[in-house]
Amino acid sequence: MRFVPQIGIDLGTANLLVYRRGKGIVLSEPTVVAVNSNNGKVLAVGNDAREMIGRTPANITAIRPLKDGVIADYTTTLKMMEHIIKKTCSTKLPFRFAPTALICVPAGVTNVERRAVIKAAKEAGAGLAMTIEEPYVAALGAGLPISSPGGNMVVDIGGGTTDIAVLSLGGIVLSASLRVAGNKMDEAIQPASYSKCLQLDDWRNECRGD
């Protein structure tokens, strides 16, 4: 039915993207949820949650409900999915059709983790929810000839996972998912960057004669 919204969701560890058929990318926000630590109430999601960091009382904390590309906090993820569907599938009609959602998951996701994503999407308001492996979608987006008999290798480095896959004849032949990606790289770089900044400060002080 043409009135039913069709959306694709990339639930990343650091950022989320939502594509709506016929409209393109309609949402790009950080995967952050602001929660009141006293009662567990969700106060804001995405950009609104990020803007609250450091400007609110100590009892309000920012949570990333996904870890290593999969759901780590189901309740918070459910609230985030509700936010996604409400924001991307709004209508001026007095009623709203439940959207069809296609959600990206890491190549090495387990069946339990896959079912958790589908369950969260349906409880958040999706009429039909399905999952698809991230490297397959990345290959399609890059325009690789994955339907040919030749091998096509994809390395998708996200915030929480690095997905590696070889695709041929329209499917994934081999795949691996590493729980080491951009966030781990940032954590490794930060101490070295901080050390360099201290060395620069010392050098400047010596030049000034402080």
| 143: CB partners within 8 A, 6+ apart | none
- Domain residue limits, the chain: 6-146
**Phi and psi based region of residue 46 (left: phi greater than 0; alpha: psi -120 to 50; beta: remaining):** left
Tens of pLDDT along 123-139?
999 989 999 999 999 99
Average pLDDT for residues 171-193, to the nearest whole number? 85
Give CATH superfamily name and number for 6-146. ATPase, nucleotide binding domain (3.30.420.40)
Q: Give the predicted TM-score (pTM) of the model.
A: 0.79
* pLDDT exceeds cutoff 90 at 120: yes
Q: Please give the pLDDT value at position 96.
A: 66
Distance (Å, whole) CA 136 – CA 89 = 25
Window from 52-56, 93-97, 126-130 with minimum mean pLDDT: 93-97
Q: Please give the pLDDT value at position 202.
A: 65
**Phi and psi based region of residue 139 (left: phi greater than 0; alpha: psi -120 to 50; beta: remaining):** alpha
Tens of pLDDT along 83-92?
888 888 876 5
Distance (Å, whole) CA 81 – CA 18 = 11
| 153: CB partners within 8 A, 6+ apart | 164, 165, 166, 167
